[in-house]
Amino acid sequence: MVGGRTLATACTVAIVLAMASCDDSDNSSGSSVASSVVATSTTTAATTTVEITSTTEVPTTPAPTTAPAPTTVAPTIAPTTAPASTACPTGTPLPGAATNLVGISGDIDGDTLNDVVTSYSLDGVPHVHATLAAGGDSDAEVPIGNADTVSIQFMDFDHSLGAAVPPPVAVLAIGPTKAGTAVGAFLTLTPKYCIRVWHNNTTDDTLFTFRISAEPIYQGLQCDGAAGSINHSLTTAEQNPGGDWAVTLQPFGHNFTTVELHPVQNITVPYDPDIQHEYGDLTSCGITLFP
C-alpha cells in the first residue's frame, strides 16, 4: 500500500472487498476456530440497467429491430488504498479502570508514524486499544483464550518487498489456554480507522480465531515468504498409521478486517522428529510459542 494513512492488503491472493463496521460490540460475542470451519465468500456483482425510450410510428414496412448492446460488468477488485481518514465513531481513551496494560508501538495505519497499541483487561475481558499518531482512539474486545488479557505483537502480514511506503502492520493477539496450546486472532483497522478483530466472511460475522497446539493433533500458523510477499496458512498435522503425516494447509488473506480463505491444500509428509515445530507452532512468523 502506498500513501499516508492508507491500509494495504497486498497479499498474493485474490481478495474481495468487504467493508467491516467499526462497532465491535455487535459482533464480538461469538468466535470460531477457522482451522475447522471454512467460510463461504459471496460476491455480488453490480449490474447496470439502461432504460431506452422509443417512439413508435406506423411504418409502411416493418422497422428493423436493433438489439441493445450487451452490458459489460467489470470484475470486482479490492481497493489498495483506504478512504480518507475520519475519526473512529467509537473512539475513547483508555479506561481508567483498565488493568494489565502492555503497550507496543508500530505503524498500523500506513502513514509511517508509530501508533500505540495497548492490550489490557477490563472487568475480566481482554481488550486491545489503538491510539493513532495522527489522532484518534479505538478499542476492541478480544474474547479469546481463558485469561483476562492477551499478549500482542506486530506482524508484517501484508509485506511488500521494495514498496516505497511499507504497508501497515497487523496486530497478532495470543490468548493462553491449557499448557501447550493457545488461541490466536488478528486485528487491523477498518476503513474508518477503528481497530477490530478479523471476522469470518459469513452471515453471522463470527470472529476469526485459530488454535495453536504443541499436542497432537498439531495445529499452528505458517508464514512463508515468497516473491517479495508473505503467505500465511493455518496448519494441522496428524500422524497416519504408517508413520507419515497427513498435513492440511489453509491459506488465507484479508480485506481490511474480513478474512478470505483460499483453497485448502492436503499433503503427506514423511516422518520427521521436528514435525511439531513445523506445524504445531507459529512457524517462520518471528515468534515461537513452544520452543
Residue 187 lies inside a defined structural domain of this protein: yes
Look up cell 501447550; give the residue: 180
Residue 182 lies inside a defined structural domain of this protein: yes
pLDDT at 40 over 50: no
Question: Alpha-carbon distance 101 to 81, whole Å?
Answer: 32
Number of domains into which the chain is organized: 1
Residue 49 lies inside a defined structural domain of this protein: no
Residue 272 lies inside a defined structural domain of this protein: yes
The backbone region for 204, taken as left when phi is positive above 0, alpha when psi lies in -120 to 50, beta otherwise, is alpha
Backbone angles phi, psi at 278, to 5 degrees: -85, -30
Residue 149 lies inside a defined structural domain of this protein: yes
Question: Alpha-carbon distance 283 to 291, whole Å?
Answer: 11
- Please state, rounded to an integer, the average pLDDT across all residues of the chain: 78
203: pLDDT confidence band, cut at 50, 70 and 90? confident
Question: Alpha-carbon distance 170 to 264, whole Å?
Answer: 23
Residue-level pLDDT at 90: 55
User: For residue range 68-112, what is the model confidence (pLDDT) as tens digits?
Assistant: 443 333 333 333 233 334 456 657 899 999 999 999 999 999 999
Contacts of 121 (CB under 8 A, 6+ apart): 98, 99, 100, 127, 148, 149
Residue-level pLDDT at 92: 82
Which three cell numbers, joined as nine digits, stand for 99?
Answer: 488493568
Residue-level pLDDT at 227: 84
Which three cell numbers, joined as nine digits, stand for 75?
Answer: 470484475
pLDDT at 288 over 60: yes
The residue segments making up the domain with residue 159 are: 99-283
User: For residue range 143-181, what is the model confidence (pLDDT) as tens digits?
Assistant: 999 999 999 999 999 999 999 999 999 999 999 999 999
Q: Write the CA distances from 249 to 5, 90, 138, 190, 265, integer angstroms.
A: 33, 36, 33, 27, 5
Which residues partner with 195 through β-bridges? 189
Residue 52 lies inside a defined structural domain of this protein: no
Q: What is the pTM of this model?
A: 0.71
Residue 3 lies inside a defined structural domain of this protein: no
Residue-level pLDDT at 205: 81
Which three cell numbers, joined as nine digits, stand for 252?
Answer: 488465507
Residue 207 lies inside a defined structural domain of this protein: yes
